[in-house]
């Protein structure tokens, strides 16, 4: 297998594997449960969509729009324009989500950091 195939297989495996996720403490369901947001690895196609926004705020909101998924892998903001995310949501929450997505810091990464700190 050549290196290009290895790279393609890596992405295919990552996209079909377990999604990273984070709990959004500020967002509660009707029954009081904290919302879980999931995401998969970033593809170049998604990055091009994100980069099409000129401002940092737009790019952060687009990151959440194009990456945030539910537990079944469905994009949760697919029908919402980025402008709605910019105007109708707490930007600090979106910014934190985008940071975790970009940094690859789902619950698993946070758990690993905690384990490292204990040693």
Residue 93, pLDDT above cutoff 60: yes
CATH number at residue 104: 3.30.2220
Helices (H), 1-119: 3-16, 44-51, 56-67, 82-88, 91-103, 107-118
Global pTM value: 0.80
Q: Which residue has the higher pLDDT, 49 or 117?
A: 49
Distance of CA 35 to the CA centre of its chain: 13
pLDDT of residue 108: 55
Residue 89, pLDDT above cutoff 90: yes
Per-residue CA distances from 27 to 34, 40, 88, 89, 98 (Å): 6, 21, 13, 10, 15
Q: Which residue has the higher pLDDT, 87 or 42?
A: 87
pLDDT of residue 106: 62
pLDDT of residue 31: 96
Residue 112, pLDDT above cutoff 80: no
The total of structural domains in the chain comes to: 1
Residue 118, pLDDT above cutoff 50: no
Comparing CA positions, the residue from 67, 58, 68 lying closest to residue 91 is 58
Token pair for 88: 């109708």
pLDDT of residue 105: 66
Q: Domain of 59?
A: 3-118
**21-65 confidence digits (pLDDT tens):** 999 999 999 999 999 999 999 889 999 999 999 999 999 999 999
pLDDT of residue 13: 72
């Amino acid at each position: 297998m050549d290196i290009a195939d290895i790279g393609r297989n890596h992405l295919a495996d990552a996209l079909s594997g377990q999604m990273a996720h984070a709990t959004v403490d500020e967002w509660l369901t009707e029954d009081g449960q904290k919302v879980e947001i999931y995401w998969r690895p970033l593809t170049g196609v998604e990055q091009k969509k994100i980069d099409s926004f000129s401002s940092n705020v737009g790019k952060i909101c687009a990151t959440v729009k194009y990456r945030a998924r539910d537990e079944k892998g469905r994009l949760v903001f697919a029908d919402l324009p980025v402008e709605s995310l910019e105007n109708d949501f707490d930007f600090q929450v979106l910014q934190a989500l985008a940071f975790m997505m970009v940094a690859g810091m789902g619950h698993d990464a946070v758990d690993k950091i905690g384990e490292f700190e204990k040693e």
